Structure 1
């Protein structure tokens, strides 16, 4: 597996680390439990980590030297794809297949796949054209460079794994993905970490939260695409509709700043709207601690403008917490509308406030939704996701074998020169 721009060892909710990091770690562990050895390659950032680390039995993280050994912004990463690929090709271990994550890794995967003569499976996680169609005010669109790069990866991959049918359709309609090479594999949830546990009261006691508070939770990176401004405005509308809630309303925000948005803009907006005192800033936390936050909350709010799946929604439901989410991307798959949570079409803060007010007034409904949420999440394990992924791997390998024998048509040619792997004017040409 390849992850050029972020390490699977990074804390989700910080920098560029998020659901994709959780996906890689949990899928790799589940694959290993089914007999698949996994090496996760990422870039060495000079953080004092050894070149090789065991993540779990059968899963290793390998750090390649490509570019400066320090953290770099994502905008600098295209320049490092070729050095990363060349370092990768020096590996002497024989691999059966390469699975890339995000478009930068997909570019490296194209080179490695050809150099090693093995299939390339690619998971996009997010797509530039989808993100650009759902930008927040003032958010920076994804550049044409990325769009071209994504199209190349889509064209060259032996198999594409989409999280949902909607994502598969976006790959086909926006990027020209061939339907026979596009497979839907739903992500899962770690049911050993995320579960009801000892219940809400015990979780609040451990976190030092008021027992009688109404707690809508936000968990994830703080960036415009995730809609934290929608949450802040919804809280202001909620208090306008039901001012009596102010004395018992608490909104924890668990996550760190990320992306192109201005750092602190969420909190400035909260001050402007007079709701700063009901918001509680909390740093990103490990998965076990995050599960406690889910259990302590009355509802998880996910107002994202775009979301390939929304793992946080599935994690919260596994802990017995209903979800109030935007009806975008994979969230309608992750959340059973009206049963394990509620979906909102659009991003009108008033609509979110109305549903929050209803949830605050109907505690028994929250309990019923929470019980349904647990049942819903238990049907989406990483074990199931890994089994489906193995099927995709075997199909990709079988397809490559048929092409090697002269049967059918496919991609066994040298990859075309990559979409200019530089952000500088998007004009530079890289030669390998």
Structure 2
């Protein structure tokens, strides 16, 4: 596994750490449980980090020195690709030939390194985009910066170099084909998973007691990185509209915002708190630092509903995890969220980001106990579709497809139209 720009050991919810961190670590753990040794290469961001850390039995995280430990933004990382790639290639040299059987890269920066390792080691390259510049730029959040042309070109190169692309959803697979010219035969759809042992059947009453939330409170939760892409501002504006229309909700409404600033949100880390104050929501909004998986499961359990107003999500792991906890989700009808959330079954999908539409959807769930119970039951059932064990099996099938693709490409004469 190559995860250059963010380590699976980092705490999701701040900086560049998010659902991809959970994805890489959980998938690797399930691979290891099947007897497959996994090395995860990531860039070292602290001088105190050990070169090698066992994240789980059979899963080794290798910290690669490439550039200064701290202070590098994601836009500055391309300058470190050569150094990072050199150190990755050196690791393989320490073993007998054929040590690695497959390279699975995550995000386009890692894909650039993966393409080099693929050719040097003569092993298949499987790549997961996680997010795509062309998709993000088409649905850019207000105040967010467009992805640069260098990333667009880099993604196109990785798509062409990969033997198989793993898409989170059918929609992402279609986007890879239509926007990047990917060969449909080399695209495998694998839904990410949820650790059901962590998120299923938490104690709701105990969670509320632990967090100091009244048993009868109405809790609207946001969990994720605080950045324009995730649109926590839309949620706060919707809450303000909802309270203007129905002031009676204020007395027992709680709106926890669980996460830290990330990406362009780092430029104005206090902006969301300032917005909350401006909207007169200081009495209902609670800002909570990022938490680990077990604590996050408790927060989901404590919530009446979880709001996911993102402008785009390749999958929407927060929505899947919340549903596993039996909590309805109100989500934007974008990207992978339309796969994760079944509208009117496990939650509600909202078209667009108009705070008035969001206020209406939130209030529907909050004031209708029968609807909440129906959606909660549907959420639990929906979550059963997304398990890491299933994701691991399907990813292994994608690796087998990549092996066949590579063998076929090597057998095809270049003059006859072989890709390489």
Fold shared per TM-score above 0.5: yes
Structure 2 regions of 5+ residues with no counterpart?
none
Q: Give CA-to-partner distance per residue, 1:47-88, whole Å, 9 cap, x none.
A: 412111111121110111212233521121000111100111
User: Secondary structure of 2:6's partner?
Assistant: coil
Q: Which moved more, 1:65-74 or 1:177-186?
A: 65-74
Task: Give the CA RMSD over aligned residues.
Answer: 1.3
TM-score relative to the length of structure 2: 0.95
**Which residue is equivalent to 1:197?**
202
Hey, what's the Cα distance between the residues in 1 that align with 2:11 and 2:407? 39
Q: Which moved more, 1:351-360 or 1:340-349?
A: 351-360
Q: What is the aligned residue count?
A: 411
Structure 1 regions of 5+ residues with no counterpart?
413-432
**Which residue is equivalent to 1:315?**
321
Q: Give CA-to-partner distance per residue, 1:372-414, whole Å, 9 cap, x none.
A: 21111012110001000000101111222333344786444xx
**Which residue is equivalent to 2:249?**
245
Indicate whether 1:116 and 2:131 are aligned.
no
**Which residue is equivalent to 1:7?**
7
Hey, what's the Cα distance between the residues in 2 that align with 1:335 and 1:256? 24
Hey, what's the Cα distance between the residues in 2 that align with 1:287 and 1:162? 24
Hey, what's the Cα distance between the residues in 2 that align with 1:159 and 1:398? 10
Indicate whether 1:31 and 2:31 are aligned.
yes
Hey, what's the Cα distance between the residues in 1 that align with 2:360 and 2:111? 42
**Which residue is equivalent to 1:366?**
372
Hey, what's the Cα distance between the residues in 1 that align with 2:291 and 2:418? 44
TM-score relative to the length of structure 1: 0.93
User: Secondary structure of 1:280's partner?
Assistant: strand
Matches within 5 A, 1:382-393: 382-393=388-399
**Which residue is equivalent to 2:222?**
218
Q: Which moved more, 1:40-49 or 1:24-33?
A: 40-49
Matches within 5 A, 1:297-312: 297-312=303-318
Q: Give CA-to-partner distance per residue, 1:149-194, whole Å, 9 cap, x none.
A: 0000011110000001111111111111111111111111001111
**Which residue is equivalent to 1:162?**
167
* Conserved 8 A contact 1:119-1:158: yes
Hey, what's the Cα distance between the residues in 1 that align with 2:47 and 2:356? 45
Distance 1:174 1:234, change over 3 A: same
Q: Give CA-to-partner distance per residue, 1:213-268, whole Å, 9 cap, x none.
A: 10010000000000111001100011011101111111000000011132221122
Hey, what's the Cα distance between the residues in 2 that align with 1:84 and 1:325? 37
Q: Which runs of 4+ in 1 moved over 6 A?
A: none
